[in-house]
Amino acid sequence: MARIAPDALAALCAEVFGLDLDRERLEVLAPQLEVVLAEIKRSRELDLAAVSPAVVFDPLCVYPPGENDG
């Protein structure tokens, strides 16, 4: 984030994240985001190719029990 110009970053936040964050607000968020991202990024060192996410798509989730018995 430190390498992106503040105005460009604000525009990115508005366009991509839907958040109105001016330069001052970004300066407040930056150090805390750095701490949070440091923890989140730790999982990037793991080989997770063979691991399915814990939350998966269930095509039956909108059907009450018994309604779609095939």
CB of 60 to other proteins, least distance (A): 15
Handedness of CA 21, 27, 32, 36 (dihedral sign): positive
Positions in the binding site for other proteins (CB under 8 A): 13, 17-21, 25, 28-29, 32-33, 36-37, 39-44, 46, 48, 51-55
CB of 40 to other proteins, least distance (A): 4
Q: Which is nearer to other proteins, 53 or 59 (CB)?
A: 53
N-to-C CA span, the chain: 51
Please count the residues of the chain. Answer: 70
